[in-house]
Amino acid sequence: MDPIRRVAMISLHTSPLDQPGTGDAGGMNVYVIELSRRLAARGIEVDVFTRATSSAADPVVPAFDGVTVRHVHAGPFEGLTKGELPGQLCAFAREVLRAEAAQPEGHYDVVHSHYWLSGQVGALARDRWGVPLVHSMHTMAKVKNEALALGDTPEPLARIIGEEQVVEAADMLVANTDLEAKQLINLYDAEPARVEVVHPGVDLDVFRPHDKAVVRRELGLPAEAAVLMFAGRIQPLKAPDVLLRAVAELLDRDPALRSRLVVPIVGGPSGTGLEHPESLAQLASDLRLEDVVRFVPPVAQDELARWCSAATLVAVPSYNESFGLVAVEAQATGTPVVAAAVGGLTTAVRDGHSGLLVDGHDPGAWAEALRRVVVDDALRVRLEAGALQQARQFSWDRTAERVLAVYGQAQVDLKEAV
């Protein structure tokens, strides 16, 4: 295969420079920037194309050595929802092609697109530049629509058709887990030979254990508190309401626990959660949990690591996750995870070893899982040790090596097709 010198990374709907935990910024943002950094460390130049959402954003931002974020003007800077972005695909694609046209021929060796909107642009660039397209879905409409959260909105047919087109166009598809690979094959008719499983990673230099007593003091948490934490975007898909309902059930069963219970909700409204940004706070009030719930705005990765270290457990009650980076990040700090047994969370969390997996979203079942970790000291200590072991299986360097191999395979397949 030819050496990979430059990669065009396309992340249309959200910038890797955005703060994860609010708006459309989440695990995909972390994935794009961490993968780009590791590729750059191997001498590969990476240009990340993303839609500009502010007139104050510089058109070209050097993010790290070898990684450049290019803010593409396509549509108004503010006010567009993700559902309105398909109308800006042509404008975005035109600017991406124009940026490449200003370079010598053969500037990029591969296009790697993230999420279906980016895949539509990536398919056009692939045909224009004559280089392979590698695509990462991150989430899939058909999967999401099969397990909709209460109050969530089904993904539209236009997205489903768009995803099917991207799957057909891509030379290689990167799946986060074996389950996602099966979903691509069974739901989207992807050719098995064009699907490769590559697990995301975790930055073990950032997400590492901190002294629990110290970080609790610094964060204003009682030293002996039972800290049940949620971290992520506040939207029906992520199901923070399930945690609150489970906490209410837990306190009904054991009222004495209230005096030492703290439930931090770290994140901001996103997706359909933007329609009613106050709804989770209202639910906490309706459930009479105002004294135990703390709403914390989205925080940077190093600060998130401190919150995870301070927690007794991190709850991930999502209705679907292609992987669930926050679960691995929490485990890397030595904190057990109680997660829904859905999607990639069944890979990220090892049930009974690094955390507990809960079937379904029944508050009673969740309350019991939370109670076990809180009251059973021997179980909690065992899960804390297992959490560290589980997190060590995931490495961004290993992810980058595997993705590079996928790029090479995509090159070979494209040449053979020609």
The annotation status of 107 as a binding-site residue, yes or no, is no
- For residues 185 and 192, the answer to whether their CB atoms sit within 8 Å is yes
User: Three-state SS across 193-236?
Assistant: HHEEECCCCCCCCCCCCCCHHHHHHHHCCCCCCEEEEEECCECH
The annotation status of 27 as a binding-site residue, yes or no, is yes
The annotation status of 306 as a binding-site residue, yes or no, is no
The annotation status of 299 as a binding-site residue, yes or no, is yes
d(CA 8, CA 394): 25
The annotation status of 203 as a binding-site residue, yes or no, is no
The annotation status of 159 as a binding-site residue, yes or no, is yes
The annotation status of 400 as a binding-site residue, yes or no, is no
d(CA 63, CA 279): 36
The annotation status of 320 as a binding-site residue, yes or no, is no
The annotation status of 1 as a binding-site residue, yes or no, is no
The annotation status of 163 as a binding-site residue, yes or no, is no
Q: Which has the closest alpha carbon to 152: 284, 272, 296? A: 272
Structure tokens at 299: 């925080």
The annotation status of 131 as a binding-site residue, yes or no, is no
Q: Is the dihedral of CA 247, 248, 249, 252 positive or negative?
A: positive
The annotation status of 20 as a binding-site residue, yes or no, is yes
The annotation status of 28 as a binding-site residue, yes or no, is yes
The annotation status of 82 as a binding-site residue, yes or no, is yes
- For residues 159 and 141, the answer to whether their CB atoms sit within 8 Å is yes
d(CA 277, CA 269): 6
**Angle, CA of 74, 76 and 78, to the nearest 5°:** 120
The annotation status of 75 as a binding-site residue, yes or no, is no
The annotation status of 26 as a binding-site residue, yes or no, is yes
Q: Which residues are annotated as a binding site for UDP-N-acetyl-alpha-D-glucosamine?
A: 19-20, 27, 233, 238, 299, 321, 329
Q: Which residues are annotated as a binding site for Mg(2+)?
A: 311, 335
Q: Which residues are annotated as a binding site?
A: 13, 19-20, 24-29, 82, 115, 139, 159, 233, 238, 299, 311, 321, 329, 335
Q: Which residues are annotated as a binding site for 1D-myo-inositol 3-phosphate?
A: 13, 24-29, 82, 115, 139, 159
